[in-house]
Amino acid sequence: MTDGSARPGEGAPGATVEDVVLNANTAFYNAFEAGDLDLMAAVWLPEPDPVCIHPGNAAIYGYSEMMRAWAMIFANTPYIQFFLTDVQVRVDEDVAYVTCTENVLSSGDGAPEDGFAGGKALATNVFRRTSSGWRLWIHHASPVLSSGGQQEEAE
């Protein structure tokens, strides 16, 4: 997805706070794509009670439970890549959120044999500013079940 240089909470000189939050968001997806538990741990806010909701699954509460869940996901996902679209960021003092469409390409469970599966989810990533930068506090992704847009819903 990116060159992997983005780190949570860091920005180039002259970067806006929105740019820094977007870098933290990119670091989350880079850690996910890399299947790297250390990178994922560095992205998340350990306290107070982070929450992670993957499409079609129950909420995972708390840092320890979440890191166990990420370890299981990484162990069972040989390949995953995200193409983010419709990315929007909003910052309000020490809390920020990013909404986006996750266009996902993956292999492993659910993918055709020797192939890839594709999917789409709408995600909200909520960040909190800390003394060490912006950290992910809440991730919530919901599956997109239809390829239709607002026009289809109106009919």
Percent of the chain residues topping a pLDDT of 90: 67
Contact 23, 8 (CB under 8 A): yes
Beta-carbon count within 10 A of 152 CB? 9
17-143, what's its fold?
Nuclear Transport Factor 2; Chain: A, (3.10.450)
- pLDDT (0 to 100) of residue 56: 86
Beta-carbon count within 10 A of 71 CB? 13
Query: How many Å apart are CA 112 and CA 110, to the nearest integer?
Result: 7
Mean pLDDT within 131-147: 91
Q: What does pTM read for this prediction?
A: 0.82
**Cα–chain-centroid distance for residue 18?**
16
Query: How many Å apart are CA 67 and CA 39, to the nearest integer?
Result: 11
101-113: per-residue pLDDT in tens? Answer: 999 988 765 545 5
Domain assignments of the chain as residue spans, ordered by start: 17-143
- pLDDT (0 to 100) of residue 3: 42
Of 64-68, 69-73, 75-79, 149-153, least confident by mean pLDDT is 149-153
69-101: per-residue pLDDT in tens? Answer: 999 999 998 899 999 999 999 999 999 999 999
7-57: per-residue pLDDT in tens? Answer: 445 556 778 999 999 999 999 999 999 999 999 999 999 998 999 999 989
